[in-house]
Amino acid sequence: MAYDTFAPSQDLNSGPFSPAADSALWRKQFLLGAATASYQIEGAVHEDGRLPSIWDTFSAIPGKVLAGDTGAVACDHYHRWEGDFDLLTALNFEAYRLSIAWPRVMDEAGRPNQKGLDFYKRLLARLKEKGLKTFVTLYHWDLPQHLEDRGGWLNRDTVYRFADYADLMSRELAGQVDAWMTLNEPWCSAYLGYGNGHHAPGLANGRFATQAMHHLLLAHGSAIPVLRANDPASQKGIVANVGRGTANSASAEDQRAAHLFEVQHNAWILDPLLKGAYPEDLFELWPGTEPLVLDGDLKTIAAPLDFLGINYYFRTNVESDGGHGFTEVPLEGVERTQMGWEVHPDGLRDLLIGFDKTYSNLPPIYITENGMASDDKVVEGHVDDPQRISFLKRHLAAVDSAIKAGVDIRGYFVWSLMDNFEWAFGYERRFGVVHVDYETQKRTVKRSAELIAKFLAERRLRN
């Protein structure tokens, strides 16, 4: 297999990455890790009994994914995971966040697929051998296609099928998982998948989005007691992607627009989880889209959490649309990534401090994803990614500022360990700290990863 031997560059002192001397990030209790997701890296979509997922179906439709890319091969992690895990330890990461492919571990009747289960058992056993903390996401968007054929997240029955899936995985993997995450970014699953059609399964209806969200959150709440019963020593949580909304002017209308942006992006998920109710403002923004909520649903959704995963990437500047909504107003002259997203680390700090003030029962937080895409290229065996280095340093400083302001933040996971299938953007957008040549599957450590490894080695010596 084509893996580069990890050999740090000799110029690591230029453009220092290390946090400030008084940063909380130097404490060994603050966990630093890398994250990935099954469909984005595994490939092997037809091997060992894996069933089709909604992303297999969606990416095969012409025009849905940039350049017609699919996750059929991806990073071939299914066959190359041992080398990828060697990179994890060579880079001194302390934790690894992965997801399980639901279509790989169960058949259409809900029976276990032993070959799929054995794959994840091997992965977790090796991570434990290496001394890494294991953070496992049950659902990172790859819903089995046979469940989508019966309505997917619009069908309440999918809630019960998810509970069955959580039961199987937590029984089979008990003792190997330090932290379970039920869902990754339900906002994306509901809004991008069912509200505007940008993601699988490609439906576009406002009422579909709110009903899908309700069933996603209900699935989460239904899984939490199952996870607690089967694997009591592990932590249990959920991952929400959050966005900072800022107003284009000081007018009351634009300030209201910024508030509504954060309602639909953040409170839509966090309020039912932490307050047991949907925000009323949500249905001012989207009138007539109220989901069907049965007695007891919101109590189930608000099951106590051991931690909350937060994914953050950018802020959005908005103005009033003249009615009850908002319109994005892109700012000029700001730094942007390959995705076109504004680099705004202060947004992460502000959101974390704001959540701490808004939710009296806010659980401890892990930053479960933060990172950026850039058009990285291998030049003479090296990949320089100065924007990513600056991005990570500034966002880690924002996390440190939030900790100093009293927010209980326990760790940070860079997105992503390696370049991978970036959903509707295919393979063009590179988020990894390790470069992947998709033709040869050769991995090349980027300079950002070298600097992370240097910092973690220094921290280990200090502690």
Q: Which positions are annotated as active-site residues?
A: 185, 369
- Other C-beta atoms closer than 10 Å to the C-beta of 173 total 22
Name every residue whose Cβ is closer than 8 Å to that of residue 161 and which is 6 or more positions away in sequence. 110, 147
| 313 among annotated binding-site residues | yes
Residue 95 pairs with which residues in a beta bridge? Answer: 33, 133
Which runs of consecutive H residues, i.e. helices, occur in 13-141? Answer: 38-41, 54-59, 77-90, 102-105, 114-129
Give the Cα separation of 351 and 398 in Å (integer). 10
| 102 among annotated binding-site residues | no
Tokens of residue 229, six digits? 């019963």
Write out the DSSP string of 193-236: IIISSSSTT----HHHHHHHHHHHHHHHHHHHHHHHHH-TTSEE
Q: How far is CA 226 from CA 114, 178, 307, in A?
A: 21, 16, 17
- Other C-beta atoms closer than 10 Å to the C-beta of 354 total 16
What is the CB-side half-sphere exposure of residue 129 using CA atoms within 13 A? 9
Q: Which of 142, 211, 216, 160 is nearest to 186 (CA)?
A: 216
**Count of residues making up the chain:** 463
Percent helix / strand / coil, the chain, rounded to 5: 40, 20, 40
The DSSP 8-state label assigned to residue 440 in this structure reads T
Give the Cα separation of 412 and 56 in Å (integer). 30
Residue where the block lists tokens 């060697």: 86
How far, rounded to the nearest angstrom, does the alpha carbon of residue 161 sit from its chain's CA centroid?
22
User: Are the CB atoms for 414 and 376 separated by under 8 Å?
Assistant: no
- Please write down the long-range contacts of 407-410, taking CB distance under 8 Å and 24 or more positions apart: 407/352, 407/353, 407/355, 407/356, 407/365, 408/356, 408/362, 408/363, 408/364, 408/365, 409/24, 409/30, 409/352, 409/364, 409/365, 409/366, 409/367, 410/29, 410/30, 410/31, 410/307, 410/364, 410/365, 410/366
Give the Cα separation of 211 and 154 in Å (integer). 6
Between strands 31-35 and 95-99, the pairing is: parallel
The DSSP 8-state label assigned to residue 264 in this structure reads I
| 286 among annotated binding-site residues | no
> Binding site residues for substrate, as ranges?
40, 140, 184, 313, 415, 422-423
> Binding site residues, as ranges?
40, 140, 184, 313, 415, 422-423
